[in-house]
Amino acid sequence: MKYRLVGIGASLALAVILSGCQAKANTLVKSDAGSVTQTEVFKQIEDQAPTQQAVQELTLNKVLNQRYHVSQAAVTAKLKAFKRQAGANYHAILARNQLTEAHLKTQIKANLLLEKAITAKYPVTKAQLKKARTAYMPMTTVQHIATTNEKQAQKIIADLNAGASFDSQVKKYAHNRQLHTTAGRLAPFDSYTQALAPAVVQATAKLQVGHHVTKPVKAVATTDTEGQPTYEIIKVISRQSKAATVTNDDGKRVTVANYLRAQLQQQRMTDKQVQVATIRSLFKTAHVKVVDTHFVPAFSNYLTAKNA
């Protein structure tokens, strides 16, 4: 599973800026035409969506920081994991999301705090953990071919059934030339990978080692295929046996139970309904009330009409 950030973007940077407003002088710019003040700037942007989001995030962060604690070591560990996964694209990701590394660390801490809140409200049960353990597919290596032509995908499978090797089919049909050098092999993945379409992961989990799919797997359209769905042909090359420990996203060996618990918690982190219910509960407990009516829209999903 890739480490994911929830809600990163320009609103976070704005939230950080707004949070420091009271500590600085009101005047931002001076000129012969007059000064520009923080009050004027705030008046100009208070109804804009990024400002609304920033105020909501600031409120949530204050509530979370009052109730939960996240160590600097935990933030640093997640930052290192994010950098490792982003690789050479790290700075491009920051630029695309209008973030500095300091803003990113702030968001990582916010995510970890929210994760604690969600875990407290929706703890992983023994029954859920047992179900996840039964369904878990360990690290698996596959060969694959992807095409946007369903009939071509069906022909590839027919050729495989007739005795053609997967390697030869990759050379003949794979559009990605890099796959030619690896005979279509992908990097090993488990049930919780974010790199492949869910349909591909599910189909892989059903296959035994040495077997290929009997019909093409239709995957979600991507920008790489110009909006067209792809039809995937998959063959399982190898699969690790279910062990007592696995390597987690931070590169550490942990028990399978702890690994699965972390994956289930991360799934909840991306569940919008779970997020909303958790934030509603937090705001209710903290007696959050919107004083400036301009910001009622920012809290419409989280507060009752009485408090908004």
Average pLDDT of every residue of the chain: 88
- pLDDT of 157 above 80: yes
DSSP string, 196-238: S-HHHHHHHHHPPTT-B-SSPEEE---GGGTT--EEEEEEEEE
| Measured distance CA(122)–CA(268) in Å, rounded | 8
Q: Is the dihedral of CA 94, 247, 211, 214 positive or negative?
A: negative
Q: Where in the chain are all domains bearing CATH 3.10.50.40?
A: 137-239
pLDDT tens per residue, range 217-254: 998 755 455 567 899 999 999 999 988 888 887 778 89
| Topology of domain 137-239, CATH | Chitinase A; domain 3 (3.10.50)
How crowded is the C-beta side of 199, counted as CA atoms within 13 Å? 13
CA-based nearest residue to 232, from 244, 240, 242, 220:
220
- Digit-coded pLDDT (tens) for 119-144: 999 999 999 999 999 999 999 999 99
Residue appearing with tokens 């488990």: 190
Q: What pLDDT digit, counting tens, does each position of 262-286 carry?
A: 999 999 999 999 999 999 999 999 9
* Alpha-carbon span 28 to 89, nearest angstrom: 34
Q: Kindly state the average pLDDT of the residues 142-168.
A: 95
Q: Which residues contact 123 (CB under 8 A, 6 or more apart)?
A: none
